[in-house]
Amino acid sequence: MIELLDQPADDIEALAKQALALAWDLADQRDRYCLVMDQPAVGVVTYGPANTRNELMRAIGNQIIASKEPARALIMRMLPLREEKQ
């Protein structure tokens, strides 16, 4: 990204589009996770995305709180934002 932004640009809009496309590509290279929780009183609720599974595990009981009844939860790795180009 730094190399792209360090280059002189004649068209700032084109540079902005290139920077945004590169940012999406870089973000897509990282794994992201979400938590799906089935709460009897509420139904299915999702949380995320998070950068690691542990981040979601630590959030359970703190930021993520189920109803008084027991709830089932599943942590899943999310699919990439863009499909792989072949």
Domain residue extents for the chain = 1-30, 31-79
Q: C-alpha distances in angstroms, 10 versus 6, 18, 39?
A: 13, 13, 54
Cα separation of 67 and 61, whole Å?
11
From 59, 86, 52, select the one nearest 73 (Cα to Cα): 59
pLDDT tens figures, 33-63: 999 988 888 889 888 889 899 999 888 877 6
The pLDDT mean for the chain works out to 82
Predicted pLDDT of residue 34: 93
